[in-house]
Chains A and B, each alone.
Chain A
C-alpha cells in the first residue's frame, strides 16, 4: 500500500541572522493512512518544523515529501493552499478562531476558499454537521469569547473537519486544556481515527501521547525513537474512571 505520508531524507534549515539553524536533519518517515501518530520532543527538537512541512505550510530545504504520492516540494504557493484546503485539517494549541465571529462562521471559513466553491446551502449543512459531530450543534451562534477552552477547541476541530480531509494535524491540541477536557478531545480524535482518518499530533505530554497508536520522539532535529504505543489508553474508558474517582472523592467524608 502507498503510504499517505512519506518523508525522504528531509532536512529543513533557517537563517536566523548570520547563523544557519538546522531545525530538521535528514529524516525519513512513513505514515500509513489510518494511523494515529504522536510526535514528541522538547522545544527546539524540530517537531513543529516537521509538522509545518507535513501540513504543506512549508517546503523542505532538501529531501522530498510526498503527500498521497504527490511531491509537495515542487508545488507553487497556490497549489499548496489548495492542498491544505482539500486534504488537511489543522488544530492549534491556541485554537486560532476568528474573534467576534460566531462558531458557525468560523467553521464555514475553509469552505470560503474551496475551489470549486461550495454552494450556500451545502455550506450551511456541512458546517452544521461538523458542529454536531463535536457536540456543539446547540452553540453554533456563540462567539469564541462566550465558549470555554474545550468548546473553542471543538469549534476548531469542526473547522478542521468541514472539508472532509484525510489528514488531521494537531499542534499541542491539549496544551491549554485541563485533564478532563483533554481526554474529551482525545476521545474525538480516537473516534475520527476509528472512522479512517489519519491523525498526527504534536505533544509533549506523555499521558496524552498514550492515546495514539505510535509515538515518534525527536531530539535535535532527528528521530530518536519510533515505536508503537504499548498499553494504549481509550478515552471513553479513561473518562469513566475519572468520573468514578471524582465520585469517590465526593463520597469520602
Chain B
C-alpha cells in the first residue's frame, strides 16, 4: 500500500515534466535496445550455426585440397587440386571406422529445362554423399555406384532449383541440360535450408563426380573429400589416419607443409563461433557504455529535480515525512524512470530485431532471458544512479529546504 502510494507520487512527479522525462530515458532506451538487438542477433546466428552443424551431417570430416604455393603466393585451401582419384580410393580402402567417403567437385553452370533456366551450383559427388550429409531424397532415388563408375548423366536436384525449373511438375524422369549436356533427374533432395554462410543449399544439382569431371569441368583432381566417421569418439583417430595416409602418399616428410587440410565440422563451427563471439563482445561493451551514459543521465536529472524541488521536500518534511520517505520517493522516481526506459528499450530492441530479419534476412532470436536481464539492468541503473540524489534529498534540513529560493 505504501509502495503503491510512493509509486503514484513518483509517476505524478515524472508526468509533470514529460519531455524531460523522455529525454532522460533516451539513453536507457538505446542502451537496452542495443542489448536486446545484440543478444537476438547473436542467438539467431548461433541457432543457425547449430542448425548448420546438423545440416552438414554427423561426424563429418572434410579433407581440403592443398594450398598452392608458387613464387611466394599462397592460395587458400581448395585452390589447387592435390587430391586425386587414387587418394580417394586409398582412403576408402585403408582408413578404418569410416561409414562413407565422397569427393566434392564444385562448379557453377547454367541449367535449362523446357523454357526455364537458372545459374546453379553443380556438385560432383560420390554415391555415399547424401548419406554422409544426412540429406535424403524427398522423391525418386539416389544414383548408384554403377552410375558413378560409368559416368552416367544422372542428377539429384535441390528443392529450390526444381521449383524454378519445373514449377509444379514432377522433376523425376525429366531432363535438365547442363551446358547443353542432358542429365536425367533421378531424385529430388529434401529441403536443407541455408548454410552458415547464408547460402541456399537447396539451389543445387548433384551429379556423379565422374560425370562432372569428364563432361563439365575437365578437372582431374578434387576440391575436397568428405568422410563420415562411424562415431564421434573416433573422429580424432580418423582425422589422424587420413592425414598420415595422405602425407605418405604425397611424400611429405619432416617439417614440410601439408598440401591438404583435414578439418572436422566442429572445428569449422568453432572457427565461425569465435568470430561471432568477438563481434558479440564488442557490441556488449558498446551497449554497456551506452547504459552507463544513460545512468549518468538519470543521476543528472535526479540531481536537478532534487534541487528544483527543495521547497517541496521542505513541505513534505514539515508535514511529517521521514528522511526514509523522501529517499524512497526519489529512488522510486529514478527506478520508474529507468524501468520505463528499459521497457521502451525492450520494445524498440525487439522491433529492431524483427526489422533486421525482415529487411536483411539475418536470423534473430529474442530470448526471454535477455528481456529479464535488460529489465534487471534497468532497475539496477535506477537504484545505483538514483541513490546519491535521493540520499541528498532525504538529508535536507527542513528549515533550510523551506527557505530555499
Contacts and interface: CB of A to CB of B under 8 A. Distances in A.
Interface of A: 52, 55, 57-58, 77-78, 81-82, 84-86, 90, 92, 96-98, 100-101, 109-110, 112-114, 117, 159, 163
27 contacts: A57-B317, A57-B318, A57-B399, A57-B402, A58-B399, A77-B322, A77-B323, A78-B323, A81-B322, A81-B323, A84-B319, A84-B320, A85-B319, A85-B320, A86-B320, A90-B318, A90-B319, A92-B402, A96-B318, A98-B315, A101-B12, A110-B319, A112-B5, A112-B325, A113-B321, A117-B2, A159-B319
Nearest to B395: A77
B19 interface: no
Interface in B389-404: 398-399, 402
A90 B398 CA distance: 12
Given A57-B399, A58-B399, A96-B402, A81 B314 contact: no
Interface of B: 1-2, 5, 9, 12, 16, 311-312, 314-325, 398-399, 402
A57 B402 CA distance: 10
Contacts, number: 59
Contacts of A163: 320
Nearest 8 CB-CB pairings of A with B: A85-B320, A110-B319, A113-B320, A113-B321, A81-B322, A78-B322, A84-B320, A96-B315
Given A81-B322, A100-B16, 8 more contacts: A58-B399, A81-B321, A81-B323, A90-B318, A90-B319, A96-B314, A98-B315, A113-B320
B131 to A, nearest CB: 73
B15 to A, nearest CB: 9
Nearest to B317: A81
B5, B317, B320, B402 — which one has the most chain A CB atoms within 10 A of its CB?
B320
A110 B314 CA distance: 13
Contacts of B314: 96
A98 B312 contact: yes
B305 to A, nearest CB: 13
A235 to B, nearest CB: 26
A109 B315 contact: yes
A109 B399 contact: no
Contacts of A90: 318-319
Contacts of A85: 319-320
B130 to A, nearest CB: 73
B315 A113 contact: no
A200 to B, nearest CB: 15
B319 A113 contact: yes
B3 to A, nearest CB: 12
Contacts of A109: 315-316, 319
In this complex, the member of A58, A98, A101, A159 whose beta carbon has the largest number of chain B beta carbons within 10 angstroms is A98
A92 B12 CA distance: 24
A157 to B, nearest CB: 13
B316 A113 contact: yes
B281 to A, nearest CB: 46
Given A52-B399, A96-B311, A117 B319 contact: no
A114 B322 CA distance: 10
Contacts of A92: 402
B242 to A, nearest CB: 79
A52 B317 CA distance: 13
Contacts of B1: 117
Contacts of A113: 316, 319-322, 325
B323 to A, nearest CB: 6
Contacts of A82: 320, 322
Contacts of A159: 319
Nearest to B325: A113
A113 B318 CA distance: 11
Contacts of A57: 317-318, 398-399, 402
Contacts of A77: 322-323
Nearest to B321: A113
A82 B320 CA distance: 6
A97 B402 CA distance: 11
A114 B399 CA distance: 20
A216 B226 CA distance: 106
A161 B353 CA distance: 57
B320 A114 contact: yes
A127 to B, nearest CB: 13
Contacts of B399: 52, 57-58
B326 to A, nearest CB: 10
A92 B320 CA distance: 15
A19 to B, nearest CB: 18
A167 B403 CA distance: 22
Contacts of A114: 320
Nearest to B312: A98
A206 B140 CA distance: 112
Contacts of B319: 84-85, 90, 109-110, 113, 159
Given A98-B312, A112-B5, A117-B2, A81 B320 contact: yes
B316 to A, nearest CB: 7
A90 B317 CA distance: 11
A98 B320 CA distance: 15
Contacts of A101: 12
Nearest to B5: A112
Contacts of A52: 399
B16, B312, B315, B324, most chain A CB atoms within 10 A: B315
B339 to A, nearest CB: 22
Contacts of A98: 312, 315
Contacts of B316: 109, 113
Contacts of A96: 311, 314-315, 318, 402
Nearest to A96: B315
A4 B30 CA distance: 59
A230 B344 CA distance: 68
Contacts of B9: 112
